[in-house]
Homo-oligomer: A and B are copies of this chain.
Amino acid sequence: MPGGLLTDLYELNMAASYLRRSMTGQATFSLFVRRLPPGRGFLIAAGLADCLQFLEDFSFTPDDLGYLHHTPGYGEDTLRAFASLRFTGDVQAVPEGRVVFAGEPLLEVTAPIAEAQLAETVLLNHVTFQTAVAAKAARCVLAAGGAQLVDFSFRRTQGIDAGLAVARASAIAGFTATSNVAAARRYGLAAAGTMAHSFIEAFGDEEAAFIAFAEDFPGAITFLVDTYDTGHGVRNAIEATRRLRLPGPVGVRLDSGDLAALADARIFASGGQGGDRVFVQAAAGAPIDAYGVGTKMGVSADAPYLDSAYKLAAYDGRPVMKLSAGKASPPGAKQVYRGPDGDVLALREEPPPPGHQPLLVPVMRKGRRVGAQEPLAVAQQRCRADLAWLPPAARALRNPVPVPVRLSDRLTILQDQVTRDLRRRAGVPDSPEGR
């Protein structure tokens, strides 16, 4: 979808107004998460690949313009301007797979203000959702204590493209396979799956179903043993293994009941995973080799959204911010510097503090990607490294404490100055509350 109408109406209104008034100055918008949800000590940057694709493809189709033609406020001049509008700006972003915290820009767009404004809704959508899910998936990886995790979420994700995005985000976070075949093909992931209860039921006889499946898929046999009774299911699996002289150990999958009651098999657990039960079973040392993690990871059930924002930080060389109660954010184009004692939110032109590395890198210049699209393995490697770096307090599964993020002195001074200027111009009395 080229995307001109994939946006909120107010973005189109504002863009039309900017263009009509020749407001073509460069705007910098900053996309960040205001606060971490309860129970999150970190986030994992994700969604950037879809953002870059969207920006590269951005345009209004003749159909889009035809629709707007019947919308009040969209005259011929505006439609002509929209017809030739493309995204021509620059983007800096935190690469996918990196650990990030609240208040840190995940992405900054600098472009003529109409272009940057029109991208808001889709950029927020991709980054907010995929970052939330990658963080949830990373928590599952930390909780699973070395067991393999397989994405089983496709049937319960919020839509079809959510299923694709979850498979990719969970792969970045360290999942080893997905049940979602379309996602496996698109992103080059390992596809995994065995059989459902319906297969056993259609055959009627459990052992006959196991034998048929083993004959048809001799490469990777995992028997689902809890359709009728787990004990009998395991005996039928062993019997089928013996009759077909399959090389052991046999794999069994449990989708319900007591997952820790079996020991002589490679155990694959599914059903209600991705929540606290992963933690409980891993902590109890249950002999489980792999988990199918579905619903609760796929919708990030305990934190299904992030409090994200896409805020104008500068327009036409002038740093800007709003003063709305509880929603103010520092002005100006920014950088995040990561150091041994935490992160520093700084102005982009500031040099790094000693021993600090920048998180945001240029990813798009004049509407074109910087470099080729990176392989998923690069993001996976980044995530592994950042999870290993993460201090124990931030990676804790219960009551995590994020790494501290402080404002640089220059950013603090600028924020104070812009706040004072805005209050004076708006005739608002100074008060410490609004800061």
Counting every copy of the chain, the complex holds: 2
On whether the beta carbons of A160 and B160 are closer than 8 Å, the reply is: no
Of the listed residues A12, A184, A324, the one surrounded by the most CB atoms of chain B closer than 10 A to its CB is A324
Taking CB atoms, residues of chain B closer than 8 Å to A321 are 201
A242 to B305, CA, bound (A): 41
A156 to B307, CA, bound (A): 9
Residue A161 lies at the interface, judged by CB distance under 8 Å to chain B: yes
A395 to B229, CA, bound (A): 39
On whether the beta carbons of B7 and A113 are closer than 8 Å, the reply is: no
Q: Interface extent on A, as a size class? A: 35 or more
Binary B-proximity of A298-341 (CB < 8 A = 1, otherwise 0): 11110011101011100110101111111100000000000000
Q: Which of B121, B156, B212 contacts A128 (CB 8 A)?
A: B156
On whether the beta carbons of A229 and B428 are closer than 8 Å, the reply is: yes
Taking CB atoms, residues of chain B closer than 8 Å to A67 are 181, 185
Min CB gap A305→B, angstroms: 5
Min CB gap A278→B, angstroms: 16
On whether the beta carbons of A227 and B324 are closer than 8 Å, the reply is: yes
Residue A415 lies at the interface, judged by CB distance under 8 Å to chain B: no
A218 to B75, CA, bound (A): 13
Residue A18 lies at the interface, judged by CB distance under 8 Å to chain B: yes
Taking CB atoms, residues of chain B closer than 8 Å to A244 are none
Residue A279 lies at the interface, judged by CB distance under 8 Å to chain B: no
- Extra 13 A-B pairs, beta carbons < 8 Å, given A158-B162, A161-B161: A8-B180, A11-B196, A17-B216, A21-B212, A29-B198, A73-B216, A121-B154, A202-B316, A205-B425, A226-B325, A255-B327, A257-B324, A304-B304
Q: List 14 A-B contacts (CB under 8 A).
A: A6-B182, A7-B180, A8-B179, A8-B181, A9-B179, A10-B196, A11-B196, A12-B181, A125-B160, A156-B306, A202-B320, A204-B318, A227-B324, A232-B427
